[in-house]
Amino acid sequence: MAPLALAVTIGDPAGVGPELIVEAWARRKERRLPPFFVVHGREVLLAAAQARGIDIRVEPIARRDQAARVFPDALPVYGDLDADYTPGAPSRDGAKLALESLGDAAQMTVDGYAGGLVTAPISKSRLVEVGFAHPGQTEYVSIACGFNAGAGTMMLAGPRLRVVPVTVHIALEDVPGRITQDAILGAAMATVPALRRDFGIARPRIAVAGLNPHAGEDGRFGNQEAEIIAPAIQTLCEAGMDVRGPFPADGLFSPPALATFDAALCMYHDQALIPFKALDFEDGVNVTIGLPIVRTSPDHGTAFGIAGTGAASAGPTIAAIRLAGEIMTRRSLPPGAARG
């Protein structure tokens, strides 16, 4: 039987997602990509291919199990919803298509019709206008799996660095109040098994960043390190995990420090994602850990300003598809067999 293909969402049709999916398909052999199909947006894909100067065949499939057979010769598309292709000009209809594609693709992955879910970029503020009530796709997918919104944990994974933000899409002024021992324990307890199971790292090493400059400088610049972060690290060490810190965040991503850990737990979104995108943007993947389904996404957003111009790099989309395939394969092997 052919392996299950990945379900790829169309993302916002006014963003760079559709053209990057098309380019990923065009480079499927060179980059050894696992089979995938797109959920809705056939006309958008054809128009995006034309704008990018890519000659492509797009084939509608009536059943998802046809995707792997069609994939070598044409980009399979399941579902007949569509929208106008207006790169750089997001619309309500485009946001509706993005939401339908996400909903259907997530559901078919949960139901076992796809081997994993790869989400193209959406605009969170645009989706809110058509009824999306979540901070991001991570929470949406967690709920689609039947859990609460916080069940999935965001990790950004690249060749040089993996980061897990303990708090994510909240205002900076709300961060200190959300740094709790439970939040840190939850992030670490999602990260360690994911590094073992999904990344094949037998003994994961976790570094934890402080919140304040110089990790608080012995209490002179803040007390969260001593009162919250260090006790959480101690609890994790007592449970047998290799967790160190809190480290001053500005030194944690220097080249020598990078070699000392497999993932860094960071206290807020930009503390994690700024070093990540500076170091690993081109191959950067946003992966949701801690869920029964595989879900990845490129590390960038809709990039409306360059959509349709040909300037957007397909590297992160290709990396997201590849990593989803790798995790799918690792999860199908007996425990321990995929560790390197």
Ligand X SMILES: NC(=O)c1ccc[n+]([C@@H]2O[C@H](COP(=O)([O-])OP(=O)(O)OC[C@H]3O[C@@H](n4cnc5c(N)ncnc54)[C@H](O)[C@@H]3O)[C@@H](O)[C@H]2O)c1
Q: Which residues bind ligand 4TP (CB under 6 A)?
A: 136-138, 273, 286, 297, 299
The three-state DSSP-derived secondary structure of 225-242 is HHHHHHHHHHHHHHCCCE
Judged by CB under 6 A, which stretch of 68-76, 173-181, 256-264, 309-317 contacts ligand X?
309-317
Report the residue number whose CB is nearest to ligand 4TP.
136
328, 116 in Cβ contact below 8 A? yes
CB of 30 to ligand 4TP, least distance (A): 26
Least separation in angstroms between residue 141's CB and ligand 4TP is 8
Helix (H), strand (E) counts: the chain: 14, 12
Between CA 51 and CA 306 the distance in angstroms is: 12
CB burial readout 194-208, b (16+ within 10 A) else e: bbbbbbbbeebebbb
Of these partners, ligand 4TP, ligand X, none, which one is at the site of residue 138 (CB under 5 to 8 Å by kind)? ligand 4TP
306 near ligand X, rule: CB under 6 A = yes
Interface stretch with ligand X, choices 68-76, 115-123, 181-189, 205-213 (CB under 6 A):
115-123
46 scored as a contact of ligand X (CB under 6 A):
no
x/- track of binding to ligand X for residues 244-283 (CB under 6 A): ----------------------------------------
What one-character-per-residue DSSP string does 83-109 give?
----TT---HHHHHHHHHHHHHHHHHH
What is the edge-to-edge ordering of all strands in the sheet holding 75-78?
58-61, 75-78, 36-39, 6-9, 117-118, 295-298, 285-289, 153-157, 162-165, 263-266, 205-209, 242-247
- In angstroms, what is the minimal distance from the CB of 296 to ligand X? 10
Nearer to ligand X, 230 or 293 (CB): 293
Q: Name the residue nearer to ligand 4TP (CB basis): 211 or 273.
A: 273
Confirm if 275 and 266 have CB atoms less than 8 A apart.
no
For ligand 4TP, which is the closer residue by CB, 115 or 316? 316
Nearer to ligand X, 258 or 306 (CB): 306
Residues that bind ligand X (CB under 6 A): 16, 121-125, 137, 286, 297-298, 300-303, 305-306, 312-313, 316
